[in-house]
Structure 1
Amino acid sequence: MSAPGEKDDRPLYERFAFRIARRGYDRDQVEDYLTRLLAGAPPSAPPAFDLVRRGYERDRVDEVITRLRGAGPGR
């Protein structure tokens, strides 16, 4: 775990403890969205991801995005 203010270089799936589900959110779409969100350039539209086999577990992704969007600038 990184100290506050320290850059976290772990892959996003590891950083946010995403698990693979039988049917879940498209992993590339989730990672692209989170990369933009963490860079301070959140997409204006609400997140919408395709459901695919072996995608990220939906509830966990939704929880992380809600928390990050609510944190605002300077997270």
Structure 2
Amino acid sequence: MSTDSKPCRNCGNSEFFTKEVSADGAAMLPIGALHGPKYQIVVCGSCGLTEWFVPSRFLPLVREKLDPL
């Protein structure tokens, strides 16, 4: 996921930080303890606005498991 072409929707800043994190709290456990679902978080480096995304490799599972609106 890239935020290069889009400024922050809250403050207009263009500096972002990103990391993939566990959706089930496994990030707090020893490495390799659990392999659960993941989210990609993107944080604005200026105002701290945080957005959560499902990584594209998990989107087929989202389509399979969740109901469309």
Tell me the TM-score normalised to structure 2 length.
0.23
- Larger RCO, structure (CA 8 Å, separation 6 or more): 1
